[in-house]
Structure 1
Amino acid sequence: MRPDILPSHSGRLVLIRPREEDDPCVAALRSHPNTRRYLPFTPTHVSLEDACAIRLKRAADETRVPFNIHLASFSPGSDPASTFVGSVSVTHIDLEFKSCSLGILISPDYVRGGIATDALYTLLSYVFEDRKLHRAQIVTAVDNVGMRGWLDKAGATLEGINRDSFANGSGGYMSMCWYSILEDEWRSTVKPRLEEKIAQATSLLKAS
């Protein structure tokens, strides 16, 4: 159950399994200072060869389902850079306990435009409705106020803070927040809240 493409709820986006054509966009995104702001333990520079190696490694990992996020104007043979807006993935899939983790990176040019909400809604739908998993968790840095605010408003549960749990890449440590969403919470709370946010963002785009 590793689909090649997932259309988003709003129709604005498509989630596409990573392709070689996307490697330059992925390298640029993972190297961007804004991306590394809350991921300082990642390499300061990701080359095209690095992006290719990441893609191939993740494609071979049965516990991971990665996607690149493109605007819906994407079409085969088009310039990936013109529609690439980020990446999102399901990781650490455990079929015995029906659990997984989620991760997302959005291009700095597209933050606060509803892209993350639409993409994560699509991914959560896949996790809970297609894969029939029970639990999804998201880990983010304590000082990532934007992501934490999004998770709180969406209805995710903050389970705790792991103090000094990740190396910060500069000889120190950073604390991480652990959030989770359960399948019943998805249906009763998170799904309707995100649908409302997506509807508001879509109406604003139509009005502009």
Structure 2
Amino acid sequence: MTAPTLENQRAKLIPLDLSNYKHLLDIAQEKNLIYYSPSNISTPETLKQYVQTAVDGLYHNTTLPFIIYDKLKQAYAGSTRFGLINFNNKVLHIGWTWIGHNFQGTGLNKHVKFLMLHYAFETLHFEKVEFRIDERNIKSRKAVEKLGATLEGILREDTVMADGFRRSTCCYGILKREWNNIKDHVFKNF
């Protein structure tokens, strides 16, 4: 599978790989950027390893990783990806999203999610998009709920964090049959 470039008037999602990940070095080192993630991207070495894992998934058709470029600020803003892609069941996850503190709350993430949902439902013709979020991450949970995603359940203490804490994970989903209504109401100005 080849990773596409997705863009609208605000955001551009560029395929992430080992040739361009260095655009994210400064952002990846921001304090508490991925506090609720079991991943570590805080050093150039751990960021490279994180990207290598994403690229490996691309070659195995299980991930599509992207660099997020903010066209309004004309700057690289972070990273996101499609993951756990299941072509048989037509289900995938959107996640592994981190955006620099200067880009948070600016509307950029909503544009990113629109591009990804549009691609998942209207190009790939998938039946469901899922989001997995740390139960404690209220900010991200509210953002996904504003997109129209439904909380489907909580996996209790299913993920070990870097500090040994066992987090519980909230599982959200959007079905293809819900997409047109979400697009018309949540993304009506896109």
Identify the TM-score tier after normalising by the shorter chain: 0.7 to 0.9
Gap change, CA 1:60 and 1:28, over 3 Å in 2: farther
Determine which structure has the larger helix proportion and give its number.
1
Shift of 1:139: 0.4
The offset of 1:101, in angstroms, is 0.6
- RMSD (Å) for aligned C-alpha atoms: 2.3
Q: Secondary structure at the match of 2:23?
A: helix
- The change in CA–CA distance for 1:29 and 1:55 in structure 2 (over 3 A counts) is farther
User: Quick one: which amino acid aligns to residue 101 of structure 1?
Assistant: H
Distance 2:18 2:87 in 1: 29
**Do residues 50 (structure 1) and 73 (structure 2) align?**
no
Structure 1 residue 146 corresponds to structure 2 residue 139? yes
Opposite residue 132 of structure 1, the aligned amino acid is H
Q: Percent identity?
A: 22
Instruction: After TM superposition, give the deviation of residue 150 of structure 1 in Å.
Output: 1.4
Q: Deviations over 1:43-89 (max 9, x none)?
A: 26332543553454244231211111112379xxxxxxx62111121
Deviation sequence 1:142-199 (CA, Å, 0-9, x none)? 11111111122221110111111111222221111100000011112x2123314x56
Superposition pairs of residues 4-43 of structure 1, within 5 angstroms = 4-8=4-8, 11-39=9-37, 41-43=38-40
TM-score w.r.t. structure 1 length? 0.79
Deviation, structure 1 residue 102? 0.6
Structure 1 CA distance for aligned equivalents of residues 62 and 157 of structure 2: 26
Q: 1:84 aligns with which of 76, 97, 110?
A: 76
Single out whichever of 112-121 and 51-60 deviates more from structure 2: 51-60
Matched, 1:177 2:175: no
After TM superposition, the structure 1 stretch with the greater mean CA deviation from structure 2, 147-156 or 105-114, is 147-156
| 1:113 and 2:112 aligned | no
Q: Which runs of 5+ in 2 are unaligned?
A: none
Per the alignment, residue 64 of structure 1 pairs with 63
The separation in 2 between residues aligned to 1:143 and 1:15, in whole angstroms, is: 27
Rounded to whole Å, the distance in 2 between the matches of 1:44 and 1:22 is: 15
The structure number with the bigger radius of gyration is 1
Deviations 1:13-49 (A, max 9, x none): 111111445322334444433222111x222633254
- Conservation of the 8 A alpha-carbon contact between 1:26 and 1:51: no
Give the letter for the 1:45 counterpart.
S
Q: Taking structure 1 as reference, are residues 87 and 169 closer, same or farther at Cα in structure 2, changes over 3 Å only?
A: same
Aligned residues: 187
- Give, in whole Å, the separation in 2 of the partners of 1:183 and 1:106: 26
